[in-house]
Structure 1
Amino acid sequence: MPDDTVNTLPGVSYVMPVLNEATHVRAAVDSLLAQDYTGPFEVTIALGPSIDGTTELVAELAAVDSRIRVVDNEIGSTPAGLNLAIRQSQYPVVIRVDAHSVLPPDYARVAVETILETGADNVGGLMDAQGTTAFERAVARAYGSRIGLGGTKLHVGGAAGPAETVYLGVFRRDRLLEVGLFDEEIKRGQDWELNRRIRQAGGTVWFTPRLHVVYRPRPNLYRLARQFFSTGIWRGELARRFPASNGLRYFAPPVMVLGVALGVLLGLGGVLQAALGATPWLLWAFAVPAAYLLIVIASAVVWGRRDGFSSFLWFLVVLPCIHFSWGIGFILGYLSLTRNITAHTGR
């Protein structure tokens, strides 16, 4: 008997914004072509103005598989690329893909099953950060620890159910169009803001631990700091724009930054007091940065040592890098001090 399964499953459109991702984009695309989903699918890559060979690599991928389409994303930002790819796609289920991500073979199948079972408008799962070097493994451990990125479900896992936001996302196309797609003014955190609108419109954002996406961390300290500074700027911007929609956990890093900075400054005042022969009571302020240092060391012992001594040492650097870069960026974004910066921090 003929198998009509393919004809009963909704088609899926993978949408991927790409900019200077020659190192990772092939693995990301290969993971899409290797999906065990038996319904029709297409891959739309929104290509930004890349200078590292990504343009040639993406053209090569599209030339050997007609299901891969490349569209020019002249703006180059993530939300602009996503919207462009969504508008150029055709199927009722839209799967967002990051060039740094590798989807497991059952990702599309499980996601579509979950949408059909729950009626959710967006489904997502766990960002499974995995590194290949000692530095990247330390970053991955920080991502997956409660002290690193706040312990949300999309980083540490949890029970299936409604969520504030999810990693990447598998959307009903009609709901995306209804709420207006991604806000192209928001260069980072656009997924959170979109999910906020979906929930406000009465839709459901659903987390399921059955979905795991391998994520490749930034390869060095400079790129990691730049990533989290940019993310912090936009998180602060979003906290200022939508104050009622932000949890207290978003304010923990900026409060920590201010506390440590104030502790160091007051502690130095205590050193000056001692030098002048006065009672150095301000030295007690050093207790704040000392307490933070102890937290970092304890976190490295609990999480960082699991991947060897080199990763343990890197964890001692990576965790403060994430906290301070994100926290400083948040403060600047929240106080609207980055109007000339945010336009260039989309990646």
Structure 2
Amino acid sequence: MRGDGPRIATVLPVLNEATHLQACLESLLHQTIDPSSHIIMVFDGGSNDGTQGIVEACMAQQNEVDAPQLALHSNPQRTVAHARNLALKMLPESVELVVEMIGHATVEKDHLQQRLDAWDACEQRSEKPLGAVGVRVESMDEHPGAVSRWIDAALHSPLGQSGGQFSRFSKIGTTDVPAFATHSRHALESVGGWDEAFITSQDSDLSMRMKKAGFALYRSPNATVKMHKRARLQNWWKMGHRYGFWRTKVLRKHPSRAKWQEFLPWLGALVTVALALSQPAWAWLLPGLYVAVLLLSGTVYGMQNRELGGVVGVPLCLLMLHASFSIGLLDGLIRKGRPPSDRG
């Protein structure tokens, strides 16, 4: 221990999260662990929808003796990386573990205790110093609309999953990029925190630097975060493009992170063009197979869930994901980044 005071700090970067922030804060303020061992640090990037007022109202109600400390800070640079680095500089000396959180997610009452238990379990398994432990991400929407269901199916389809944030893993194990991670403060300080050049994918970059520095990264299914997922196709397209765009930025800095599957759409397009120029009769082959596989995926979903719309909806979401991500990969070679607009 570093001394008396909170051991865990939850860092919460927010920007216009008024719709969901109250539920998020309530879930964090009423945990089963000793309130004195936990501090919640909210960093607002200039919200104009009442987000700050929600935090201030919660702070005003903190006369309860069983509530952890809640603090609101300004994040002038607005990005997640800037907010987390500000937190790293402002942490009480006693803090050993730093928890990632977002304003449109909630957790169960024993969530932080589950994180602590997961940390201990992973620490016992690891031969290296433990840098971070991720959790499992689940949908918060009890009655999601059709588009949300199709998007969720696409994310968990073999044709759409990356093994990252939305992975449905069931066992404790190592990972490349832990989602909603509990980080070791020592590990964070050892690698210099987050790279503020990354508006998105800052966690992927951080994880690579932690692994290079000799820290182990794990994930545990026992602790879960429930988050609101996208419900509009327009935002789904923007998310795919954003992920592809910043994926290129990560790969330029960490080439070893590349996965061949990420480039299959571009490879397929190039082969199709080559066939169209040299063997026109065969040019339909790859596109035809691709469409057939997408429709098969949609048919399986539709039959399993008795949802006729999903027969077309899931293939559409997969097609949008592949196209937007691939265009984003190329765009990342050309442009500088800008803040995301795929929420709301």
Tell me how far apart the structure 2 counterparts of residues 154 and 240 of structure 1 sit (CA, whole Å). Answer: 24
The answer to whether the 8 Å contact 1:254/1:328 transfers is no
Number of equivalenced pairs: 323
Tell me how far apart the structure 2 counterparts of residues 13 and 187 of structure 1 sit (CA, whole Å). Answer: 22
**Partner residue in 2 for 1:285:** 283
Tell me: CA distance 1:117–1:265, structure 2 relative to 1, closer, same or farther (3 Å): closer
String of CA shifts for 1:118-170, please: whole Å, max 9, x gaps. 33221112222354222112212222232212245851214312221111100
Tell me how far apart the structure 2 counterparts of residues 222 and 103 of structure 1 sit (CA, whole Å). Answer: 28
**Partner residue in 1 for 2:126:** none
Provide the secondary structure at the position in 2 that maps to 1:147: coil
Tell me: CA distance 1:313–1:64, structure 2 relative to 1, closer, same or farther (3 Å): farther
Instruction: Structure 1 unaligned segments of length 5 or more: list them.
Output: 1-6, 271-280
**Partner residue in 1 for 2:117:** 113
The answer to whether the 8 Å contact 2:41/2:70 transfers is yes
Q: 1:184 deviation in Å? A: 0.7
1:1-347 equivalences under 5 Å are 11-38=7-34, 40-65=37-62, 67-90=69-92, 91-119=95-123, 120-131=130-141, 132-152=144-164, 155-244=167-256, 246-248=257-259, 251-260=260-269, 263=272, 281-303=279-301, 306-307=304-305, 308-333=307-332, 336-339=333-336, 342-345=337-340
The answer to whether the 8 Å contact 2:243/2:325 transfers is yes
Tell me: CA distance 1:9–1:47, structure 2 relative to 1, closer, same or farther (3 Å): closer
Tell me how far apart the structure 2 counterparts of residues 217 and 321 of structure 1 sit (CA, whole Å). Answer: 16
Provide the secondary structure at the position in 2 that maps to 1:70: strand
Tell me how far apart the structure 1 counterparts of residues 163 and 293 of structure 2 sit (CA, whole Å). Answer: 16
Normalised to the residue count of structure 2, the TM-score between the two structures is 0.84
Tell me how far apart the structure 1 counterparts of residues 53 and 218 of structure 2 sit (CA, whole Å). Answer: 37
The answer to whether the 8 Å contact 1:129/1:144 transfers is no
Name the amino acid aligned to 1:325. S
Tell me: CA distance 1:282–1:144, structure 2 relative to 1, closer, same or farther (3 Å): same
Tell me how far apart the structure 1 counterparts of residues 328 and 235 of structure 2 sit (CA, whole Å). Answer: 15
Tell me how far apart the structure 2 counterparts of residues 57 and 266 of structure 1 sit (CA, whole Å). Answer: 59
Q: 1:242 deviation in Å? A: 1.1
Provide the secondary structure at the position in 1 that maps to 2:102: coil
**Partner residue in 2 for 1:276:** none
String of CA shifts for 1:194-240, please: whole Å, max 9, x gaps. 11111111111111121222222122111121122111111111112
Provide the secondary structure at the position in 2 that maps to 1:168: coil
The answer to whether the 8 Å contact 2:242/2:340 transfers is yes
Tell me how far apart the structure 1 counterparts of residues 311 and 88 of structure 2 sit (CA, whole Å). Answer: 42
**Partner residue in 2 for 1:275:** none
String of CA shifts for 1:88-128, please: whole Å, max 9, x gaps. 33222111102232223322112112223433221112222
Tell me: CA distance 1:293–1:88, structure 2 relative to 1, closer, same or farther (3 Å): same
The answer to whether the 8 Å contact 2:164/2:177 transfers is no
Tell me how far apart the structure 2 counterparts of residues 169 and 93 of structure 1 sit (CA, whole Å). Answer: 10
Tell me how far apart the structure 1 counterparts of residues 136 and 16 of structure 2 sit (CA, whole Å). Answer: 25
Tell me: CA distance 1:21–1:264, structure 2 relative to 1, closer, same or farther (3 Å): farther
Instruction: Structure 2 unaligned segments of length 5 or more: list them.
Output: 64-68, 124-129
Q: 1:345 deviation in Å? A: 4.1
Name the amino acid aligned to 1:232. G
Tell me: CA distance 1:261–1:58, structure 2 relative to 1, closer, same or farther (3 Å): farther
Q: 1:12 deviation in Å? A: 1.3
String of CA shifts for 1:259-306, please: whole Å, max 9, x gaps. 247637965x79xxxxxxxxxx41421222221111211222334654
Tell me: CA distance 1:53–1:222, structure 2 relative to 1, closer, same or farther (3 Å): farther
Tell me how far apart the structure 2 counterparts of residues 283 and 130 of structure 1 sit (CA, whole Å). Answer: 48
Percent identity between the two aligned chains:
24
Tell me how far apart the structure 2 counterparts of residues 261 and 117 of structure 1 sit (CA, whole Å). Answer: 47
The answer to whether the 8 Å contact 1:35/1:106 transfers is yes
RMSD over aligned Cα atoms = 2.7
Tell me how far apart the structure 1 counterparts of residues 258 and 303 of structure 2 sit (CA, whole Å). Answer: 30
Name the amino acid aligned to 1:35. Q
